[in-house]
Structure 1
């Protein structure tokens, strides 16, 4: 299931709460309210029923000789059952996650998008975009600041929101278009709908292009991550090289020394170049993403 997409203008703490509670937001959207009107009246019902039970028990004790202990036991059992009912139906505490999220969902209505806002095709595209963004933000080169991590933290969530917002519009228009076409179309109607279908296809292609740009950026970041790891490993090997050279000299095994051992410095330089090229490609892909956002 894809995470909730939140407008970058929503405060970070609220956005994080929304992303963690997509199912609750879906329940709110379907009409569920964590503050049912009738729940607050349950304690009065419990008190009234308990009082009636006690009176009945005392009356039974006086009129028909029912033991007092039995009457009290029956009252306690009744109270326990009603208490369980109350606990199951009472409203959530004022500071519960449900109520806090409910208030935020109402206040920031339109500032978040949930799974139900997307049709199947849109969900697939959104998933691709989110996976690419997550990969970039969690990459070694981004965490280490070798990319523009500050801009990534700002721009990538904004790009996710823009893509998601466009996908919801596409989902809505596609559903409306399918509904219009469901009852059959005359040639005149088909001709009138053809430009609309082309507009939908062109718009979807534009969104796909934005998602693919994110995926290209993520691919360059992956290459940079691999080069960074390999470079670190080669540097460890280089640090150990003098020990191997000393061992070879002491054992008189110089003629068996593999030429590749002496090439570690060259390998390290090649990896540094590969890392530099990968980072340059990632930065170029990053700049390409500035275009759609600026429009």
Structure 2
């Protein structure tokens, strides 16, 4: 299921709550409320009553079976077990209920500042998936984690980009649905002519949003190239660290005159990869600046 898109301006605790409870948020929007659930203490009380009845029956069985000596060993263990299970049973549903109540309250408090999967039509959903994949890849990349990119700005700007694009996609989805419903069943030539500019507006808006998605994907592509260059550079550096052992072996075996030039190319490869890494990071920075749009 597509993750909930949250306005980056709302508190992090509420945002994380929304992202981890998308299906329940959809139910809340449809009219569900936590008051409709039976209370957790009542369910826990019934559970403890059942456990107590089972324990009493088992105790009677031991008495009639004549195993009195085992009672003093078994009963305390059984009671401790039942008590522990009862505490867990009483706590977990209560925690779930408290989370759902908090979700219900926060969902109403921040209504309109989070977007659910049902807010997007099929085409918008596909674009949103591309946005989220690009954002996730950039934030999880090694070059970003190592600070070779503007990692602090990425952490702020990329969620903002995701939110702004998602918000535009929901508006586009709603207008497309209204447009389709209005024209469903046929329209007169006059109405078709009147709606033509509206159709062109929808197409132009979709083209503009798609361009923003593609810009984000280009940035992710440059980050991917930088990640590959960094990985290759690290591997070459590991090989360079082993050079003295190879050179020692060649010298001892008398083959150094033949093989040293070949091994020497390793240093050249490392230099080329270092330059490739710098170029990739520079390209990523340029793509990053492009996301901000033209200067005002």
Superposition TM-score tier, normalisation by shorter sequence:
0.7 to 0.9
Residue 267 (str. 1) matches residue 257 (str. 2): no
Match of 1:198 in 2: 200
5 Å-filtered alignment, 1:230-249, equals 230-249=232-251
**Runs of at least 5 residues in structure 1 that lack an aligned partner in the other structure:** 47-86
Match of 1:281 in 2: 283
Aligned partner (choices 132, 136, 139) of residue 138 of structure 2: 136
Aligned partner (choices 111, 114, 118) of residue 112 of structure 1: 114
Does the CA contact (< 8 Å) of 2:225 and 2:280 recur in 1?
yes
Does the CA contact (< 8 Å) of 1:234 and 1:268 recur in 2?
yes
Aligned with 1:26: secondary structure?
Answer: helix
Q: Give distance in 2, aligned partners of 1:247 and 1:221.
A: 39
Does the CA contact (< 8 Å) of 2:247 and 2:260 recur in 1?
no
Match of 2:35 in 1: 35
Does the CA contact (< 8 Å) of 2:6 and 2:163 recur in 1?
yes
Q: Give distance in 2, aligned partners of 1:217 and 1:37.
A: 47
Q: Give distance in 1, aligned partners of 2:261 and 2:2.
A: 52
**Runs of at least 5 residues in structure 2 that lack an aligned partner in the other structure:** 47-88
Structure 1 position 93, deviation (Å): 6.2
Structure 1 position 38, deviation (Å): 8.4
Does the CA contact (< 8 Å) of 2:2 and 2:129 recur in 1?
yes
Does the CA contact (< 8 Å) of 2:143 and 2:223 recur in 1?
yes
Residue 146 (str. 1) matches residue 109 (str. 2): no
Higher Rg = 1
TM-score, normalised to structure 2, is: 0.79
Q: Kindly tell me: are residues 276 and 37 of structure 1, through their superposed partners in 2, closer, same or farther at Cα, counting changes over 3 Å?
A: closer
Deviation track 1:183-229 (CA, whole Å, cap 9, x = no partner) reads: 20111000001000000000000000000001000000000001111
Structure 1 position 259, deviation (Å): 3.8
Q: Kindly tell me: are residues 27 and 262 of structure 1, through their superposed partners in 2, closer, same or farther at Cα, counting changes over 3 Å?
A: same
Deviation track 1:225-265 (CA, whole Å, cap 9, x = no partner) reads: 01111111111111111111110110112354174311111
Structure 1 position 31, deviation (Å): 1.0
Structure 1 position 39, deviation (Å): 6.6
Match of 2:9 in 1: 9
Does the CA contact (< 8 Å) of 1:92 and 1:98 recur in 2?
no
RMSD: 2.3
Does the CA contact (< 8 Å) of 2:34 and 2:97 recur in 1?
no
Q: How many residues align?
A: 248
Residue 19 (str. 1) matches residue 29 (str. 2): no
Moved over 3 A (4+): 37-40, 91-95
Does the CA contact (< 8 Å) of 1:92 and 1:99 recur in 2?
no
Does the CA contact (< 8 Å) of 1:8 and 1:158 recur in 2?
yes
